[in-house]
Amino acid sequence: MAKKKKVRVAFKKNRQKRTRANDMTRGYREADPSAPESVSSERIRAKGDLSRHRTVMQEVPENPVDGDVTPRLAVDLSTCQVGRVVRVHGLISVVQAEDGREVRCNVRRILKTMAIDGRNIVAVGDRVWFRPVGDEGMIENVEPRKGSITRGYRRREHVIVSNVDQLLIVSALAEPGLKLPLIDRYLISAEKGGVRPIILLNKSDLVDLAPYQWIIGLYTQLGYETIATSAADGRGISRLREILARGATAFSGQSGVGKSSLLNAIQPGLNLRVREVSDWTAKGKHTTTTAELIRLDSGGYVVDTPGLRQFELWNVDQGEIEAHFIEFRPYIPLCKFPDCSHIHESGCAVKEALYWGQIHSGRYESYLKLYEGQPIEGD
């Protein structure tokens, strides 16, 4: 049984004044529901800060999931139905009810008020309680998330997808070619979010695979399932279908690597939009523009996501990065200095392992890039 407690919530600034976002389509394009609201319709009295707070009853879970700060309100659930968010269009969330109907829903204002630092309240994959209002609905409650992929976006946390078991890290062997630091970044994000990562090297029809076998070997040895696929000639597709049947999977990766094409190969009837000609050099062109939850006939749920222009890790401290490189872990305690950054210090056991080939140089370079905060282009 969850306990209830009174909490004081402050209204966000956008409740206090009419504001207009200078680029109202930006949030929509990025499928980021945390985009600023353009108009605030509720008036409040000018009574100083006091009037800008409200006391609400909030449920406090007995055993909160580590790091879960999703606001939950005590709501009259007898008037609500449960469903899962399948798409988010700006401020509207499309929720699939248990009977399969899709209902367009708004989000209860108080949930927005309680959102921490404007982090998006509703994400694709969320399980929600909504109250039917005519043909539409009002989201009254968002269940705690288990397994989510988030990123930093304009100094806020953006939940890309929630309640998934697996993250499919899709990269392409050619057009545009592999970026190992980006794969490593997604691996960290999966680990942070409690999601099992799977690495996919797509477009294997375009290359001779032999020079790339070491990559499959490297990640497989580290314990990450890694497979080569081709949406064009069907390689690895039946294996992928089996992997997807295990549960709910988010597809991630740069624009143009073939996420939607792979899903079309898995289930031809889906007819997801893919880039017409293989024009992978066209920067900033995204074929998929919003994340979408799809149920597969062969079993499992998938979320096709747009390739992100930037993939910044969220809430990963500099000193924490080393721990996410699992092959570094045995060496870290052997470094001479306890706060060793494994870059310039003497007596560094990680660098020694690198020298002897026990740590791969590509992975070490990824570590350096992350440690030094270098951007990794994801587009």
Residue whose CB is nearest to ligand GTP in the complex, by number = 258
Residues 132-171 that bind ligand GTP (CB under 6 A): none
* Site string (174-213) toward ligand GTP, x via CB under 6 A: ----------------------------xx-xx-------
Binding residue count for ligand GTP, defined by CB under 6 A: 23
Is 302 strand, coil or helix? strand
- The CA distance from 129 to 132, in Å, is 10
- In whole angstroms, the minimum distance from the beta carbon of 170 to ligand GTP comes to 6
Chain position carrying tokens 């993250």: 167
Residue 324 touches which of Mg ion, Zn ion, ligand GTP, none (CB < 5 to 8 A by kind)? none
CA distances from 177 to 207, 256, 349 (A): 10, 10, 32
Residue 231 touches which of ligand GTP, Zn ion, Mg ion, none (CB < 5 to 8 A by kind)? ligand GTP
- In whole angstroms, the minimum distance from the beta carbon of 176 to ligand GTP comes to 9
Q: Is 259 in the site for ligand GTP (CB under 6 A)?
A: yes
- Footprint on this chain of Zn ion (rule: CB under 5 A): 335, 340, 342, 348, 350
- In whole angstroms, the minimum distance from the beta carbon of 246 to Mg ion comes to 22
Q: Is 260 in the site for ligand GTP (CB under 6 A)?
A: yes
The residue (of 127 and 309) whose beta carbon lies closer to ligand GTP is 309
Spatial CB neighbours of 244, under 8 Å, sequence gap ≥ 6: 166, 168, 266, 296, 298, 299, 300, 302
- The CA distance from 249 to 294, in Å, is 10
Residue 218 touches which of Mg ion, Zn ion, ligand GTP, none (CB < 5 to 8 A by kind)? none
The residue (of 124 and 128) whose beta carbon lies closer to ligand GTP is 124
Helix, strand, coil shares of the chain, percent, nearest 5, are 25, 25, 45
- The CA distance from 89 to 296, in Å, is 22
Helix (H) or strand (E) holding 303: strand 301-304
DSSP state of 234: -
Let me know how long the chain is: 379
Cα within 13 Å of Cα(337), Cβ side: 11
Query: Which of these segments, 1-9, 160-168, 192-200, 249-257, binds ligand GTP (CB under 6 A)?
Result: 249-257
- In whole angstroms, the minimum distance from the beta carbon of 349 to Zn ion comes to 6
Pick from 93, 163, 189, 230 the residue near ligand GTP by CB under 6 A: 230
Contact 223, 206 (CB under 8 A): no
Residue 342 touches which of Zn ion, ligand GTP, Mg ion, none (CB < 5 to 8 A by kind)? Zn ion
The residue (of 260 and 366) whose beta carbon lies closer to Mg ion is 260
- The CA distance from 251 to 243, in Å, is 12
- In whole angstroms, the minimum distance from the beta carbon of 206 to ligand GTP comes to 5
The residue (of 183 and 262) whose beta carbon lies closer to Mg ion is 262
Q: Is 236 in the site for ligand GTP (CB under 6 A)?
A: no
- The CA distance from 328 to 3, in Å, is 42
The residue (of 221 and 289) whose beta carbon lies closer to Mg ion is 289
Tokens in use for 284? Answer: 């900033």
Chain position carrying tokens 């889906």: 270
- The CA distance from 306 to 29, in Å, is 10
Query: Which of these segments, 34-42, 155-163, 178-186, 270-278, binds ligand GTP (CB under 6 A)?
Result: 270-278
The residue (of 314 and 364) whose beta carbon lies closer to Zn ion is 364
How far is residue 176 CA from its own chain's centroid?
22
Contact 181, 364 (CB under 8 A): no
CA distances from 310 to 152, 273, 314 (A): 9, 22, 12
The residue (of 211 and 284) whose beta carbon lies closer to ligand GTP is 284
- In whole angstroms, the minimum distance from the beta carbon of 317 to Zn ion comes to 17
Q: Is 287 in the site for ligand GTP (CB under 6 A)?
A: yes
Give the residues lining the site for ligand GTP (CB under 6 A). 202-203, 205-206, 230-232, 255-261, 274-275, 277-278, 286-288, 306-307
